[in-house]
Structure 1
Amino acid sequence: MGSLDAVRSAIAEQVKFDVFTQSQEADNDKARQQVGRNFISDTITVPSKEMYLYASMASLGDDVYHEPSTIALEAHMAKLTGKEAALYVPSGTMSNQLALRTHLKQPPYAVLCDHRAHIHKYEAGGTAFHSGATTIPVVPANAHHLTLADVQANIVLGDDVHFAPVEVVALENTLNGTIIPQEEVKAISDYVHGKGVKMHLDGARLWHVAIETATPVAELCAPFDSVSLCFSKGLGAPIGSCLVGSKDFIKRARWFRKLFGGGMRQTGVLSASAAYALTHNFPRLATVHELARRLESGLKEIGVKITSAAETCMVFFDPSPIGVDYSELVKRAEALPNPISIGGSRLVVHIQTTQEAVDDLLGLMRTLAEEKKAAGFVYSPNANGNANGNIYIRAAEKR
């Protein structure tokens, strides 16, 4: 017996593991500071100490069977969105794909969406893989948002055997930080539903629309049969999204969630984090938008081209008019005494972005512009230089 206990103790020594560093609390504080200077995405937001404390008091159920905190969150989300039921899931991608798989009954079928839509570009071909559906990506004629005219011009209806008929029109709001006018959403919904086609909304950042337009969430969701809303982007929760729709729809989606491997267990701490985010972080989005507009204004003042304005939390920009390319900007930002993280042409402001980070980024842009000007670079639009049709030449070489 003693020998057996010794072997067990030896195995236990091999198994045990501590994820904490010797300076974990300081490391976490540093991570929070770095997040405040990261413009790559709002998915990088981290839980505050207050969120952790609130979440630690959550219920201890099993979400496949009965998890009280998660059930309460789902009931609140259904009421908030004006739908009958809700389903908590690990990610926005799963939420979207569950919605499409639940709506799409029998192929052949197609999903119509914006050509920039997350379900089309950034979900690893999930619509084809999970649902066997083709996607009809549409380029908006106004270069901003899909309109009723865009949908009417591209929707496939009828029983021509050469085509897969559209059974779901999927919109995204916001899309790249821009807002679809609600009047346009209603017009599309009325037309689509009149054709017997379903409407899905990827509302990962719908919270921003609600704050910016002062429109109740239920009103924004009303034109859709299903809506996906994310807690881990603009709201700053660590993980999770909610899919909302009718009771029958959510009942079947829950079945598919299990099939997809998304049936979770002790989700109380995650649901509590989402609840904290809804209560404490949602109201902060107005300040986020103000900071994004301040960033946009500063960039324009320096001479940087804005390719998509800060309607909510994102600014798309082109630094080529001041003689700078993205790779140089990224390297210089990383080399600052207090580094800034940038991913390219998109700058995302979030609830943990600091005003100091915005000021430092604008300061770096100003420095780069001055350096290029001192080096004799002159901006020459509409030449055959880079992908944007711009070229940079020294003043002495200009023809």
Structure 2
Amino acid sequence: MYAYASLASVGDDVYHEPSTAALEAHMAKLTGKEAALFIPSGTMSNQLALRTHLKQPPYSVLCDHRAHINNYEAGGTAFHSGAHTLPVIPSNGHHITLEEIEQNITLGDDIHGAKTEVIALENTLNGTIFPQGEIIRISEFAHQNNVKLHLDGARIWHVAAETATPLKTLCDPFDSVSLCFSKGLGAPIGSCLVGSTEFIRKARWFRKLFGGGMRQTGILAASAAYALTYNFPQLARVHDLTKRLEAGLRELGVKILSAETCMVFFDATPLGISYLELVTRAAELPSPIRLGGSRLVVHIQTSPKAAEDLVDLIRVLAEEKAKAGFVPSPEAYTTKRQNIYVRAKPEKKN
């Protein structure tokens, strides 16, 4: 990736940067949209999308209550766009449905409400795949009511890899999509916002206003291009390792709260093992694993040995608890999920 990036052009992206423009054109073609815009971060990409779609308040944005734009973007929807958010709790615990959107959306001219101008979905959300059929139903409803549909597709690559669905098909129902080059693909920085030509023209203006207009972005765009070509094909291997990790934990009696694509949410308390205890012992391994809680994220630099080491550690801890007289009990299980990362020390870097 470093070697490839060193060959990039050194233009000025506020005006024209050839390597960045080439990446944007490629992303537009890949997603089936008219245009694309390279952006420093996924948070800025989402916030630019919302600000570009939203014209004149009062208005609202409907989303899943767990959505990144609702929980992890520092209140940016309110700050940047002056928009009210309508967070919906999915009754199925997995994804919001059209029926739940119909029950929570604000439409019409009642002056007591903030009309919903954008529905924002996320795929994957906590590593789980949003069913495409449901997305199409929501898209049809949104467009029938002149509501824009945005996708936070930071990890949409995982959906494409796991379901063997073309990226264009996944993006077709949406007016705008944000895609991340870091995270799953392993580029050092950057996201891309795609949509219509007019939408991206306006978003480029807001990008400058937000402080996201950068100069020699060619090396960043080239790194993203490399990740698309060489790292995206590795996601199948990542998902396979995730499944092996999940299976190893299940075999020990660990409760699995969620496990799709590259994430495993787990609970070891049925074995008498607290998160704090696991974090401490993992840090003391010969090859330390840094744990923060119940979310395990596997990526392209996670080695099979790291997954094996974690499973082995939990096995040892479970044996210690059993010798101390702990009897596993279903009542020990808690459904509380902690959104904290786990990262294993990689074997080597790009």
Q: Give SS of 1:101's match.
A: helix
- Are 1:116 and 2:36 matched, yes or no? no
In the alignment, residue 74 of structure 2 is paired with which amino acid? A
Choose from 229, 232, 239 the match for 1:282: 232
Correspondence for 2:249: 299
Residue 110 of structure 2 is matched in structure 1 by: 160
Displacement after TM superposition at 1:380 (Å): 3.1
CA distance in 1, matches of 2:135, 2:333: 39
Q: Report how far residue 381 of structure 1 moved.
A: 3.1
**Equivalent of residue 334 in structure 1, options 283, 287, 296:** 283
**1:378 lines up with 2:332 in the alignment:** no
Equivalent in 23, 45, 57 of residue 73 of structure 1? 23
Using the alignment, how far apart are the partners of 1:318 and 1:226 within structure 2? Answer: 36
The Cα offsets for residues 77-127 of structure 1, whole Å up to 9 and x where unpaired, read as: 000000000000000000000000000000000000000000000000000
Q: Is the alpha carbon distance of 1:300 and 1:199 closer, same or farther for their aligned partners in structure 2, counting shifts above 3 Å?
A: same
Partner of 1:261: 211
Match of 1:130?
80
Decide whether aligned partners of structure 1 residues 384 and 189 sit closer, same or farther in structure 2, where only a CA change above 3 A counts. Answer: closer
Compute the displacement of 1:302 (Å).
0.6
Q: Which runs of 5+ in 1 are unaligned?
A: 1-50, 389-399
Task: Tell whether the 8 Å contact from 2:8 to 2:219 is kept in structure 1 after alignment.
Answer: yes
Unaligned runs of 5+ in 2: 338-350
Aligned equivalent of 2:138, options 167, 188, 194: 188
Determine whether 1:351 maps to 2:338: no
Structure 1 residue 153, shift from structure 2 partner: 1.1
After TM superposition, the score normalised by the length of structure 1 is 0.83
Q: Which residue of 2 aligns with 1:366?
A: 315
Contact 2:269–2:333 (Cα < 8 Å) also in 1: no
Is residue 169 of structure 2 the alignment partner of residue 219 of structure 1? yes
1:377 CA drift (Å): 1.0
Structure 1 pair 170–238 and aligned structure 2 pair: CA distance change class (3 A) = same
Cα distance, 1:147 vs structure 2: 1.0
Taking the TM superposition and a 5 Å limit, the aligned residue runs for 1:71-110 are 71-110=21-60
Q: Judging changes above 3 Å, is the alpha-carbon distance between structure 1 residues 387 and 144 closer, same or farther for their aligned structure 2 residues?
A: closer
- Alignment partners' CA distance in 2, 1:325 and 1:53: 44
8 A Cα contact 2:270 2:332, kept in partner: no
Select which of 316, 332, 346 maps to 2:265: 316
What is the one-letter code of the residue matched to 2:276? S
CA 1:247/1:384 → structure 2, altered by over 3 Å: closer, same or farther? closer
Q: CA deviation at 1:385?
A: 9.1
Residues 143-154 of structure 1 mapped to structure 2, 5 A cutoff = 143-154=93-104
Counterpart code for 1:216: P
**Partner Cα separation in structure 1 for residue 154 and residue 335 of structure 2:** 33
Pair 263,360 (structure 1): closer, same or farther in 2 beyond 3 Å:
same
Separation in structure 1 between the aligned mates of residue 239 and residue 335 of structure 2, nearest angstrom: 31
Provide the rounded CA distance (Å) in 2 between the counterparts of 1:385 and 1:299.
Answer: 16
Q: Distance in 2 between matches of 1:144 and 1:313?
A: 16
The superposition leaves residues 111-170 of structure 1 with CA deviations (integer Å, 9 ceiling, x where unpaired) of 000000000000000000000001000011110011111111111111111111110000
- Amino acid in structure 2 at the alignment position of 1:144: H
| CA-CA distance at 1:387 after TM superposition | 6.4
Q: How does 1:54-65 map to 2 (within 5 A)?
A: 54-65=4-15
SS in 1 for 2:245: helix
In 2: Cα distance, 1:246 partner to 1:217 partner: 16
Against the structure 1 CA distance between its residues 385 and 82, is the aligned structure 2 distance closer, same or farther, given a 3 Å change threshold? closer
* Number of residue-to-residue matches in the alignment: 337
2:269–2:332 Cα contact (<8 Å) kept: no
Q: Distance in 1 between matches of 2:333 and 2:49?
A: 45
Letter of the structure 2 residue corresponding to residue 74 of structure 1: E
Q: Which residue of 1 aligns with 2:347?
A: none
CA contact (8 A) 2:262 2:297 kept: yes
Letter in 2 for 1:142: N
Cα distance in 2 for partners of 1:66, 1:124 equals: 31
Q: Give the residue type in structure 1 aligned to 2:48.
A: L
Contact kept? 2:98, 2:138, Cα under 8 Å: yes
1:197-241 CA-partner distances (Å, limit 9, x unpaired): 000000000000001111000110000000000000100000000
Cα distance between partner residues in 1 of 2:109 and 2:58: 10
RMSD: 1.3
Q: Residue 274 of structure 2: which of 318, 325, 331 is its match?
A: 325
Match of 1:341, SS? strand
Q: Distance in 2 between matches of 1:205 and 1:66?
A: 28
Q: Report which of the two structures shows the higher radius of gyration computed on alpha carbons.
A: 1
How far apart, CA to CA, are the structure 2 residues paired with 1:259 and 1:378?
59
* TM-score between the two structures when normalised by the length of structure 2: 0.95
Determine if the alignment matches structure 1 residue 205 to structure 2 residue 135: no
Q: Match of 2:185, SS?
A: coil
Question: Residue type of the partner of 2:38?
Answer: Y
Give the corresponding residue for 1:245: 195
